[in-house]
Amino acid sequence: MNLEGKNQVIEGIKNGVTINKLIIDRNYEHRKDDVVSLAKKYKIKMEFLPKKVMDKLAKTEHHQGYIAETVDFEYSTVEDILNVSKEKGTDAFVVLLDGIEDPHNLGAIIRSCECAGVDGIIIPKIRACQVNETVVRTSAGAISNMKIARVTNLKDAIEDLKKAGLWIYSAEIGGQDIYKTDLTGPIGIVIGSEGEGTKPSIISHCDGVITLPLFGSVNSLNASVSAGIVVYEVVRQRQTQKGEHNE
């Protein structure tokens, strides 16, 4: 798997991603280049090639003259994710994705979750998008800071989280108003697939269903947009609760 683009490469290097080789546009010397300085600092092997050659090697159209050849993405475990909040001394905050298939949606969700301080994301091993170059690029570097676990059975993962003390809510239509629901404390949020939403079999394992109120004629939101709104409502409630406790 490649990291492509200046920001992607910088984030990867800084976060300890194993890079086998860093390929750079050979015309880099015509500009100040902090990527080269960073690569030298971390003793990363570099190769300088013409842009035309790099265009053929790139998996996307956005390499910007930087391609880092890395090992495959290393997934975490559910236990790894739960340990994040233990180490921080905060309430657990996990997002579970039920069948997200669009890599752009997955990348955007990862980016929103990382910005919101989510401890980790859990995805199914089958019938769902896995981490690839498009996901990495769309996450804008956030994936380097986000633990992602793949599980065979999402229902089992939910039960494990519940045993660990988390309340699990599915973000789906027909539930209670998200703005009237207490989302403080250890929590897991399930986001359903782009077309079908969360499967009924998954919802049956959740503690509740939360719904974003809609005021237009369209009856649904894009999965990544919904995820962003929901995780930041959790953040808002936590910040409000924290402020009340500090008064």
Burial class (CB in 10 A: 0-12, 13-18, 19+), 215: exposed
Residue 207 is given by DSSP the state S
The predicted-structure confidence for 57-93, as pLDDT tens digits, reads as follows 888 778 889 998 886 788 999 999 999 999 999 999 9
Identify which has the larger pLDDT, 85 or 13. Answer: 85
If you average pLDDT over each of 26-30, 138-142, 217-221, which comes out highest? 138-142
The predicted-structure confidence for 123-182, as pLDDT tens digits, reads as follows 999 889 988 878 888 898 888 899 999 999 999 999 999 999 999 999 999 999 999 999
Sign of the dihedral through C-alpha 89, 91, 97, 103: negative
**Average pLDDT score over residue span 89-115:** 96
**Looking at the domain that runs over 2-70, which CATH code has it been given?**
3.30.1330.30
Q: Are the C-beta atoms of 73 and 168 separated by less than 8 Å?
A: no
pLDDT band at 239; cut points 50, 70, 90: very high
- Give the residue among 68, 61, 55, 67 at the shortest CA–CA distance from 20: 68
**Looking at the domain that runs over 78-246, which CATH code has it been given?**
3.40.1280.10
Kindly report the pTM of this predicted structure: 0.76
**Residue 240 host element (H or E):** helix 223-246
3-state helix, strand, coil in the chain (%, to 5): 45, 25, 35
Map out the domains of the chain as residue ranges.
Answer: 2-70, 78-246
Instruction: Give the per-residue pLDDT at 166.
Output: 98
Q: Could you tell me which residues are beta bridge partners of residue 25?
A: 49
Q: Could you tell me which residues are beta bridge partners of residue 243?
A: none
